[in-house]
Amino acid sequence: MKALTFSSFGDSDVLEYIEIPDPQLKSDEILVEMKAVGLNFADVYRRKGNYHLKGNPPFIAGYEGAGIVVNTNNNPEYKVGDRVAFADAPFANAELVAVNVNHILPLPETISFETAAAVLLQGLTAHYLATDSHKTAKGETVIIHAAAGGVGQILTQISKLLGASVIGLTSSSDKAKIALEQGADHVFLYNEDWKSQVFNIIPKGADVVYDSIGSTLAESFEVTKECGQVVFFGMAGGDPAPVDPRMLMDGSKTLTGGDLWSYLNSKEERIKRATQLFNWIIEGKIKLSEPTTFKLSEGKLAHDYLESRKSTGKIILIP
């Protein structure tokens, strides 16, 4: 099979699209012929050597995608030709992927391979943020950093679906337009006095702030109301400053960390959460931006485009 690989760490030049042996299946794995693969910043971090990698060189990144079962490996629950997807199985940047049966997600006929690859990681992240990290209630006001990003767009829609008002934060007027199109009630730019603008809308502060930037964590607390919450789930803008527990005590504020892997902890949980997400899409309650598509063989171009931060929606790779 062909796969997008790297044998040393570095910039996108280390990526190689090469022929490697097909996966050797373990007893609890089935073989999936990939039709679409999601590209994420985690794949860039793995390429650079910042994230843990399984196996030995040549390394294969990628953790989400969709395709067709081509070998059930005597697992009676599946048959050849089944449409499936996954959000947390390694080595996805390949034509064939061995996937543990507990990580397989049945793919409805009305959800395309491309949609599944574009939505699973970011959509399931937005789902747990709005339903677990903070249980969003009708009438609340939420602030979403990077509101035009992949998670931000879906989190905006889910928050609105659950009855909240949304204030989005983003870096440009073009991205602000995208956030507004996703349903944000207000969008403010980072290079403006966004905190004052927030307080003009909600003088007491937000019920919850979703912070995926990291370096903005202290500012997120400033715009959180007493007894409010900050959910910290990413560091796209750099490490956060240390948090003083006395500040939390003085304002009765809560800091919660968020990581998707903590919630995708069983077959039942994976399927339940993905089914909810797929149903919202099928019912038209969540609308997705058209993903940017590259061939898997064009992995270097895709990585460069992702790192340029010019993209606002999802990037997917097609084997």
Q: Which fold has domain 2-119+263-318?
A: Quinone Oxidoreductase; Chain A, domain 1 (3.90.180)
Say if 2-119+263-318 and 138-257 have the same CATH topology. no
| Domain residue limits, the chain | 2-119+263-318, 138-257
Average pLDDT score, the chain: 95
Q: Which helix (H) or strand (E) segment is 85 a member of?
A: strand 83-86
Q: What is the pLDDT of residue 308?
A: 87
The per-residue pLDDT for 237 is 87
Residue 312 has pLDDT above 90, yes or no: no
Q: Is the pLDDT of residue 292 over 90?
A: yes
pLDDT at 310 over 90: no
Instruction: List, in order, residues 6 or more apart from 78 with CB less than 8 Å away.
Output: 30, 69, 72, 84, 101, 104
What's the distance, CA 146 to chain centroid? 12
CA 177 vs CA 168, 210, 286: distances in Å? 11, 19, 17
Confidence of residue 53 (pLDDT cuts 50, 70, 90): confident
Q: In this structure, how many other beta carbons lie within 10 angstroms of the beta carbon of residue 79?
A: 10
pLDDT band at 169 (very low <50, low <70, confident <90, very high): very high
What local confidence, expressed as pLDDT, does residue 238 receive? 87
Q: What is the pLDDT of residue 154?
A: 96
Instruction: Domain 138-257: give its CATH code.
Output: 3.40.50.720
The whole-number pLDDT of residue 55 equals 82
